[in-house]
Amino acid sequence: MKIIICGALGKMGAKLRENALKTDEITPLCGVDIKCADLNGFKVYDSFDKIAEKADAVIDFSSKASLENVLSYCVKTKTPAVLCSTGYDENDLAAINKASENVALFRSANMSLGVNVLIEAVKFAAKKLYDFDIEIIEKHHNKKADAPSGTAVMIKDGIKEVFPDRIEVYGRHGIVGARYKKEIGIHAVRGGTIVGEHQVIFAGDNESLTFTHNAESRDVFAAGALSAARFIAKKEKGLFDMKDLLSENA
Ligand SMILES: NC(=O)c1ccc[n+]([C@@H]2O[C@H](COP(=O)([O-])OP(=O)(O)OC[C@H]3O[C@@H](n4cnc5c(N)ncnc54)[C@H](O)[C@@H]3O)[C@@H](O)[C@H]2O)c1
C-alpha cells in the first residue's frame, strides 16, 4: 500500500513516515508540505499537482489550511484520505461531508484507541451521573496552534449526544458567579512538550469521578492513522471515523 503524507515536514508527518517504514506493507510514496524537500530520497512537494504516481491513501497531519487542496486532490484522483488535522470549523466539516459523497474519507481528531474508548466510557458515565457537574481539562505542548484540542471537542460532542441541552463554557475568568448546572467546562493548558492529556471530571455531592487519558508518544497517533489508512483504502466513498474502525475490529 502506498501513502501520501500531507504535512510531511511536521512532527506528526515525520512520526508517520517512521511508523510506516516499520510495517511490511505500507510504503510512504511522497509528501506534501508548504515547501519542497528531499528527505533521503523521499520527495516532499509544495503542491499536490506535482504528484505523478497514484497512491492508495492520503494521510493528512498538517493544518486546516490544507483541507481544500487535500479534498480536491482526493476527489479528482479518487484517492481515499485519512484526515487527522484539527481545528476544522463548520464550513470545513460541510466540505468534508460533501467530498465524501464522491470519495472515501476518514476523520478523527484523535487517532488513539484509548481516547476513543474514553469517549464511550464518558458517555456511559454521563447517562448514570446525570446530576454531576462535568468539566474537561486538556494539556498539550506549547507549539499547539488550536484550543481547545480537537479531542476535547470530541469529548464535549460525546457528552452532548447524551445531554443536547448542555452548554460549553471555555475557561473561566473574573466574577462568573455560581456554576450553571448545564455547563460543560472546557479548559486548555499549554506547556513544554506534553504530547496530549485529557481529563474528564464528574463532580457530584461529596464524590467525584475522573477519567484520564495520557498520550505518552506521538507513535500512538501514527499507528492509529495507519490502521485507518488500511481501513479506508478498501472503501469507495463515505465518511468514516474511529467508531467504524473499532466496530470492524471488535
Ligand atoms: N488526529 C490526531 O490523532 C492528531 C494527533 C496529533 C496531531 N494532530 C493534528 O495534526 C496536525 C499536525 O500536527 P503536528 O504536531 O505534526 O504539527 P506541526 O506544526 O509539527 O506540522 C504541521 C506541518 O503541516 C505543514 N502545513 C501547514 N499548512 C499546510 C498546508 N496548507 N499545506 C501543506 N502543509 C501544511 C507545516 O508546514 C508543517 O510541516 C495538527 O492539526 C494537530 O492538531 C492530530
| Mean pLDDT confidence for 77-96 | 97
Active-site annotation holder among 11, 43, 123, 144: 144
Parallel, antiparallel, or unpaired: how do β-strands 42-45 and 57-60 relate? unpaired
Question: Domain segments of the chain: what residues?
Answer: 2-111+218-249, 113-214
Question: What is the average pLDDT across 210-219?
Answer: 97
How many CA atoms, within 13 angstroms, populate the side-chain half-sphere of residue 169?
A: 17
pLDDT digit string (tens) for 122-173? Answer: 999 999 999 999 999 999 999 999 999 999 999 999 999 999 999 999 999 9
Domain 113-214 falls under CATH 3.30.360.10? yes
| Whole-model pTM over 0.75 | yes
Encode 197-208: b = buried (16+ Cβ within 10 Å), e = exposed.
bbbbbbbeeeee
| CA–centroid distance, residue 7 to ligand 1 (Å) | 5
Nearest ligand 1 atom, CA 141: 15
Biggest distance spanned by C-alpha atoms of the chain = 63
Angle at 109 between CA 136 and CA 42, to 5 degrees: 140
Q: Please tell me the predicted confidence (pLDDT) of residue 190.
A: 98
Orientation angle between helical segments 90-99 and 67-77, nearest 10 degrees: 10
- What pLDDT score does 82 carry? 98
* pLDDT, position 248: 80
Is the bond leading into 28 cis (omega within 30 degrees of zero)?
no
Q: What is the pLDDT of residue 107?
A: 97
CA of 208 to the centre of ligand 1 (A): 35
What's the confidence (pLDDT) of residue 250? 64
Query: Does ligand 1 come within 6 angstroms of the Cβ of 199?
Result: no
Residue range 102-111: mean pLDDT, rounded:
96
More confident residue, 118 or 246: 118
**In the structure, what pLDDT confidence band is assigned to residue 80 with cuts at 50, 70 and 90?**
very high
DSSP annotation of 150 reads H
Q: How far apart are CA 234 and CA 231, in angstroms?
A: 6
Does 140 qualify as catalytic in the annotation? yes
Q: Please give the pLDDT value at position 24.
A: 92
As a 3-state breakdown, the chain gives helix, strand, coil percent values, each rounded to 5, of 35, 25, 40
15 catalytic per annotation: no
How far is Cα 44 from Cα 215, in angstroms, rounded to an integer?
28
Ligand 1 mean position, distance from CA 201 (Å): 29
Mean predicted lDDT score pLDDT of the chain: 96
Q: Does 3.40.50.720 match the CATH number of domain 2-111+218-249? A: yes
Q: Which of 14, 17, 41, 9 is nearest to 229 (CA)?
A: 17
Distance between Cα 180 and ligand 1 center (Å) = 36
- Of 15, 139, 140, 198, the active-site residue reads 140
- Identify the pLDDT of residue 23: 96
pLDDT at 246: 84
